[in-house]
Amino acid sequence: MKKLAKMLMLVIPFGLGAFASTAQQVIVEKPQPKKIEVTGSAEQEVLPDEIYVSITLREYFKDNNNKNKVDIMVLEKQLQKAVEEAGIAKENFSVGDINGYREWFGKKKPTTFLESKSYIVKVANLYKIDGIIARVDDKGVASTNISRFEYSKIEALRKEVKIKALQAAKEKAKYLLEGIGEQLGEALEIYEIDNGYSPAPMYSNMMMKSARAESADVMPESTIDVQKIKVRYEVKAVFRIK
């Protein structure tokens, strides 16, 4: 019995010591590294190379009797020919919308129906649009405007600007630390701030009056571009301080 008691006295302290040692190891935390957090930004502007121009043609009457109507197909052929002569591929010329309405004359029932048709012309720039419109019957052109524009290599440009933003963040962290005699370490965390890209307001300076004043055999070209697309990104980065 005495031998058993001595054995218990030896075992219990040893077990408690091992448990205490294990608990102490669990609560010990590694010291946090010194770090610096900065934000870098970059931006770039490019001219859009995919411009979608909407041209709307509308039927009309040549006289006041509303009998001699210019058919929409006549106007469409004029436009199609002008587009082909401008060197624009068929796949970049399509119908965008079709509308129509009947005209009322006094108390009489409507007897005439006028159709309008919108076409989308995709061009790399606006230089040839003035000449195209000048080849179509003046009275048949109802309106023209830029529906939208894009940049074909936008994804590659986004990557490039993001990398530049991250490089700017690293450079900022480096010179800030050098100012206090510290050295920049490796990147610990990187956060992308999604700014995206913003096309500038769309507008067109189509010189339609001067274009129509030229000879029908000459296709004048405007030299005015649309505003540029701006791509801007910000990146937040955390670096270790050596």
Whether residue 154 is predicted with pLDDT greater than 80 in this model: the reply is yes
Task: Report the pLDDT averaged over residues 209-231.
Answer: 60
Share of the chain above pLDDT 70, in %: 71
Question: Both tokens of residue 209?
Answer: 């009056």
Q: Which of 23-27, 57-61, 163-167 has the lowest mean pLDDT?
A: 23-27
Residue 231, phi then psi, degrees to nearest 5: -110, 125
**pTM for this prediction:** 0.67
Per-residue pLDDT at 157 exceeds 50: yes
| Other Cβ atoms closer than 10 A to 42 | 19
Both tokens of residue 152? 């074909």
Residue 8, SS3? helix
**In the structure, what pLDDT confidence band is assigned to residue 128 with cuts at 50, 70 and 90?**
confident
CB 36 within 8 A of CB 238: yes
- For tokens 């909407």, name the residue: 54
Of all helices (H) and strands (E), which one includes residue 125? none
pLDDT at 39: 96
pLDDT band at residue 30 using 50, 70 and 90 as cut-offs: confident
User: What is the helix (H) or strand (E) element at residue 210, kind and residue range?
Assistant: helix 208-213
Note the Cα 76 to chain centre separation in Å: 32
Average of per-residue pLDDT across 116-145: 91
Give the residue among 133, 139, 121 at the shortest CA–CA distance from 71.
139
- Please give the Cα distance from 166 to 39 (Å, whole number): 8
- 14 or 195: which carries more pLDDT confidence? 195
